Amino acid sequence: MVRAIVGANWGDEGKGKITDMLARESDIIIRFQGGSNAGHTIINNYGRFALHLLPSGVFYDHTVSIIGNGVALNVPYLNNELEDLVSRGVPKPRILVSDRAQLMMPYHVLFDQYEEERLGGKSFGSTKSGIAPFYSDKYAKIGFQVSELFAPETLKEKVERVCEKKNVMLEHLYHKPLLNPDEIFETMMGYREMIEPYVCDVSAYLSGALKAGKKILLEGQLGSLKDPDHGIYPMVTSSSTLAAFGAIGAGIPPYEITQITAVVKAYSSAVGGGAFVSEIFGGEADELRRRGGDKGEYGVTTGRPRRVGWFDAVASRYGCRIQGATEAVLTVLDVLGYLDELTLCVGYEIDGEVVKDFPVTHKLEKAKPVYKTMPGWKCDIRGIRKYEDLPAACRAYIEEIEREICVPITMVSNGPGRDEIIMRG
């Protein structure tokens, strides 16, 4: 049985917390896309952790954590993240890395920085983790698979060829120091040493695990609106953030993914540029940002303040639909207890017309929010474990969101901790 945990919004919905929680009952947890460019915050009995590359299942000793072929694998980063966990008292997790995962090269990170510099104010708001250059190279067929580290003769030749191409750009477009292929080859041999104990034919392993009836979680990074096809292109990430891609990025049959858990945030937050219809500003935004998440709304990887706004029903309904959500988890609801009134964006006004379907980017940029308000519950709901014990105004807000997104809300998260969850019947 495979369950995908994916974001319905712009990312930072709290997928890490939900994955960590559901991993207790699972055997295998897989990252299937993205890289170290976004983080998951997890708070459990070992402390507070910001994971970037490791799946959020690494805190249990009964689970196997997998880096799937769809991931942008930054080997030294993975190594550091593992060492950090162990140094903080977490038992060394069991890790497998797909032999078909591709390597984040040091020059991918450099190219990301150089391109942002070149674009200046017109940049895409990249986290400069090398993600766009990495996926560009993968699909241009000049990336490096983990498997290639174990065929050093052909690898050496390929490194030379790739450097030749990269150096033209470095010299003539970016005016930066050139790459030395011998140095890069040596670095890659270092990667080989670090990664060797974990390398595995992951799709074969998972095929066996599925036959044996193991419970598998797919952990998505970012959310629907950052998907390169279905999101707010071009202000998107470079790998698919959708549950459907889980089959490809892990190497399993698509029909095995029977449960798609969309994580929906009780208000909106986003990092980077792009249209954000229900965004709020000024003091109102500062207050929500300060109270948001577990330590305010600041990026886990970059520390950048996140943009914040009211719940956007148009974007969230689309986000759930494009994920194929079979259920939704509503997160960070506790944060909203200070408001006299809740504001929900229930439509977009575009050129004088109100639309309910999430539009393509050029129309989205013209959209103005159509709001409706509901009374606040004006109290702290943390610690509540039963749905019926929530204040009536709070339940009304949840049920209104459920109607808007057209997906049953099966869980409500009312705090960052592992056990701060309300299950609905």
Instruction: Tell me which of 133, 231, 309, 415 binds ligand GDP, using CB under 6 A.
Output: 415
CB-based contacts of 29: which residues, under 8 Å, 6+ apart?
A: 19, 23, 55, 56, 57, 58, 63, 64, 65, 66, 216, 217, 219
Active site residue 40: yes
Contact between 232 and 307 (Cβ < 8 Å): no
304 CB neighbour count, 10 Å cutoff: 14
CB of 235 to ligand GDP, least distance (A): 17
C-beta closer to ligand GDP: residue 305 or 359: 305
Active site residue 108: no
For residue 81, state whether it binds ligand GDP (rule: CB under 6 A): no
Measure the CA angle with vertex 42, ends 324 and 104; round to 5°. 75
CB of 237 to ligand GDP, least distance (A): 12
**Piece of 9-17, 133-141, 167-175, 400-408 that binds ligand GDP (CB under 6 A):** 9-17
Amino acid identity, residue 224? S
C-beta closer to ligand GDP: residue 103 or 335: 335
**CA neighbours within 13 Å on the CB side: how many for 367?**
28
Q: Which residues of 135-144 are buried (b: 16+ CB within 10 A; e: fewer)?
A: bebbeeeebb
Binders of ligand GDP among residues 313 to 332 (CB under 6 A) are 331-332
C-beta closer to ligand GDP: residue 314 or 411: 411
For residue 289, state whether it binds ligand GDP (rule: CB under 6 A): no
CB-based contacts of 208: which residues, under 8 Å, 6+ apart?
A: none
State the DSSP string of 36-49: TTS-EEEEETTEEE
CB of 272 to ligand GDP, least distance (A): 13
Measure the CA angle with vertex 19, ends 17 and 20; round to 5°. 65
What is the distance between the alpha carbons of residues 284 and 193, in angstroms, rounded to a whole number? 51
* # of chain residues touching ligand GDP (CB under 6 A): 24
For residue 31, state whether it binds ligand GDP (rule: CB under 6 A): no
For residue 294, state whether it binds ligand GDP (rule: CB under 6 A): yes
Binders of ligand GDP among residues 216 to 255 (CB under 6 A) are none
CB of 218 to ligand GDP, least distance (A): 14
For residue 335, state whether it binds ligand GDP (rule: CB under 6 A): yes
Amino acid identity, residue 144? F
Q: Is 379 helix (H, G, I), strand (E, B) or coil?
A: coil
CA-wise closest residue to 1 among 20, 16, 22, 17: 22
Instruction: Tell me which of 3, 31, 40, 307 binds ligand GDP, using CB under 6 A.
Output: 40
CB of 161 to ligand GDP, least distance (A): 37
CB of 306 to ligand GDP, least distance (A): 9
CB of 228 to ligand GDP, least distance (A): 18
C-beta closer to ligand GDP: residue 42 or 345: 42
Summarize the chain as % helix, strand, coil (round to 5): 40, 25, 40
Instruction: Tell me which of 184, 250, 300, 394 binds ligand GDP, using CB under 6 A.
Output: 300
SS (H, E, C) 307-366: EEECEEHHHHHHHHHHHCCCEEEEECHHHHHHCCEEEEEEEEEECCEEECCCCCHHHHCC
Instruction: Tell me which of 112, 227, 334, 404 binds ligand GDP, using CB under 6 A.
Output: 334
Instruction: Tell me which of 8, 43, 90, 320 binds ligand GDP, using CB under 6 A.
Output: 43
Which entry of 20, 27, 40, 52 is annotated as an active-site residue? 40
Instruction: Tell me which of 35, 39, 133, 347 binds ligand GDP, using CB under 6 A.
Output: 39
Instruction: Tell me which of 34, 293, 347, 369 binds ligand GDP, using CB under 6 A.
Output: 293
Tell me the catalytic residues.
12, 40
The residues binding ligand GDP (CB under 6 A) are 7, 11-17, 38-41, 43, 293-294, 300, 331-332, 334-335, 413-416
